[in-house]
Amino acid sequence: MKYILFDLDGTLTDPKEGITKAVQYALKKHGIEVESRDELEKFIGPSLKYSFMEFYNFSEEQALQAVEDYREYFKPIGLYENEVYPGIVALLEELHSRDMKLFIATSKPTVFASQIAEHFNIDKYFTEIVGSQLDGTRVEKDEVIGYILEKYNLTQKDHIIMVGDRKFDILGAKKHGLQTIGVSYGYSEENELEEAGACCIADTVEQLATYLLGD
Tell me the three-class secondary structure of the chain, residue by residue: CCEEEECCECCCEECHHHHHHHHHHHHHHCCCCCCCHHHHHHHCCCCHHHHHHHHHCCCHHHHHHHHHHHHHHHCCCHHHCCEECCCHHHHHHHHHHCCCEEEEEEEEEHHHHHHHHHHCCCHHHCCEEEEECCCCCCCCHHHHHHHHHHHCCCCCHHHEEEEECCHHHHHHHHCCCCEEEEECCCCCCCCHHHHHCCCEEECCHHHHHHHHHCC
Q: Which distant-in-sequence residues (6+ apart) come within 8 Å of 190 by Cβ?
A: none
Which residue numbers are catalytic?
Answer: 7
Of 178, 175, 144, the closest CA to residue 4 belongs to 178
